[in-house]
Amino acid sequence: LLLFSSSINAWSTGQWDITQLNNPVSCILLTTAIAMKLGLIPFHFWFPEVLQGSPLTTAMLLSTVMKFPPLTILFMTSPSLDPTLLTAMAISSTALGGWMGLNQTQIRKILAFSSISHLGWMAIILIYNPKLTLLTFYMYCLMTITV
């Protein structure tokens, strides 16, 4: 989806730069691609099950280090993203991540739903203050690695 978004933008504008997307379809596709990689709602179904079946070290790496590249792309392309779609995904991720984590007794699933909820907070903060998103991500990583 990331390459498809870039191809659509290059076809309509003649530039391969994904940090300045002008085509609305490519903006929506880029937002969707990053949300899918991060595990935001509605693309979150894979994350709790994968974390549940993995050892704690792997779960820690999936929850922290593997989120860094898509968050970097999200940070770089934040002016080009669709703010309405990102806001809807962020609010639903924050609400459902917290709500679904309440009924869990297994630590890996609690961490997975915590990750979904925290990524929702990061996505909503990104719209207003991108540098604060980095601070939020660093604090999230510190808390997750500690657990």
- Output the pLDDT for position 131: 84
- For the segment 91-105, the average pLDDT, to the nearest whole number, is 88
First CA to last CA across the chain, in angstroms? 33
- For the segment 110-120, the average pLDDT, to the nearest whole number, is 88
- For the segment 93-120, the average pLDDT, to the nearest whole number, is 87
User: What angle in degrees, to the nearest 10, is found between the helix axes of 107-128 and 83-101?
Assistant: 150
Count of CB atoms within 10 A of residue 60's CB? 19
Prior bond to 69 cis, omega within 30? no
- Output the pLDDT for position 97: 86
pLDDT at 21 over 80: no
- Output the pLDDT for position 53: 85
pTM summary value: 0.81
Tell me which residue of 73, 60, 119, 130 sits closest to 92, measured CA to CA: 119
Burial class of 117 by CB neighbour count within 10 A (0 to 12, 13 to 18, 19+)? buried
- Output the pLDDT for position 76: 83
